[in-house]
Amino acid sequence: MNLSAMELSSEQLQAVLISAKSICVLTGAGVSQESGVPTFRGPGGLWRQYRPEDLAAPEAFERNPLLVWEWYAWRRELIQRAQPNAAHLGLVKIEETVTGRDGQFTLLTQNVDGLHERAGSRNVIRLHGSIWQLRCASCAEEREDYSVPLAPFPPRCSCASLMRPGVVWFGEPLPEDSWQKAADAAAACQVFLVIGTSALVYPAASLPLLGKRNGARVVEINPDSTSVSEIADIAVQSKAAEAFSALARFDRQKERA
C-alpha cells in the first residue's frame, strides 16, 4: 500500500495511541487556530502593534487597564463565535477510548478559551486560567462572565475596583494544584502528545521533557519545528485539525478494509 506522508503519520499515530494505557496531552494556541482564534506568536499573532508579553502582564494592567481589557474583549468576541474543530473533537474521542479501557487521560492546556471543555473533554487541567473568569484586582471576588460585550466596560467588582481577567500573566505563578497535577500526569504517562504550542512559555513548556525523561513517547503535532520536535519520537508536521481529520479518515479506511 502506498501511503502519503499524512497517512503514514496517521498510521504511526494510531499505532502509538492504540497501545497506550496512559496519555497526557499538552495543547497551546495552535489547536484553536483552525477555529479562528489567532495564536500569540507567528503570523497574525500581534494585536495592533503589541506582543503578548506587552499585554499579558500585571505591569501592563497597572499602566493601562483599558488597553489590556480591549485586547481581552477582542479575544472574547472571537472565541465566543468559534466552534471546536476536529482536533478538539478528536481528543474527546481519544479520552473516551482510553478511559473506556480503564486507562488514564489528562489534557493539559495553556489555552484560556474553553474550547476543549465545549468539545466535551472531561479531564482538563487549565494551566493559564480562563478568559471567562473575572477576578477583582483588589479583593478576593471572582465570577464567571460569558457576556460579550462586557458591561460596564472595563468590568468592576462590587467593591468598586476594576476586575481583571482570571488568567495567568507573565511573571505570575501557575495555580499550585493545577501545576502539581500536570507534573504528576506528565511524569506518569506512556504517551505525551504535544499539539500547537511554540513551547516558549515556562513552566508549561518543561512538561514534555519531564514526560520524555520518565519514559514517555513524545508525539508532536505542529506545522512548525519547536524545541519539542527535537525530543519527539514522532513529529507530525501538520495543522492540528488537518491531522485529526486524516486520522479519522484513516480509521474509516481501516474499518472498511
Q: What is the contact surface with ligand OAD in residues (CB under 6 A)?
A: 28-30, 33-34, 39-42, 45, 52, 56, 110, 128, 167-170, 196-198, 200-201, 221-224, 226, 239-240
In the complex, what is the shortest distance from the CB of residue 210 to ligand OAD, in angstroms, rounded to a whole number? 17
In the complex, what is the shortest distance from the CB of residue 167 to ligand OAD, in angstroms, rounded to a whole number? 6
Over the range 87-111, which residues count as b (16 or more CB within 10 Å of their CB) and which as e?
A: bbbbbbebbeebeeeebbbbbbbbb
In the complex, what is the shortest distance from the CB of residue 128 to ligand OAD, in angstroms, rounded to a whole number? 5
Torsion of the alpha carbons at 230, 217, 224 and 53, rounded to the nearest 10: -90
Of 65 and 223, which has the nearer Cβ to ligand OAD? 223
Torsion of the alpha carbons at 77, 78, 80 and 84, rounded to the nearest 10: -170
Of 7 and 170, which has the nearer Cβ to ligand OAD? 170
Of 28 and 155, which has the nearer Cβ to ligand OAD? 28
Q: Which residues pair with 194 in a beta bridge?
A: 26, 220
Nearest residue to ligand OAD, scored by beta-carbon proximity = 30
In the complex, what is the shortest distance from the CB of residue 127 to ligand OAD, in angstroms, rounded to a whole number? 8
Report which DSSP code applies to 174.
P
Q: How many CB atoms lie within 10 A of CB 253?
A: 12
The residue among 108, 90, 104 whose CA lies nearest residue 13 is 90
Active-site positions read 128
Of 157 and 201, which has the nearer Cβ to ligand OAD? 201
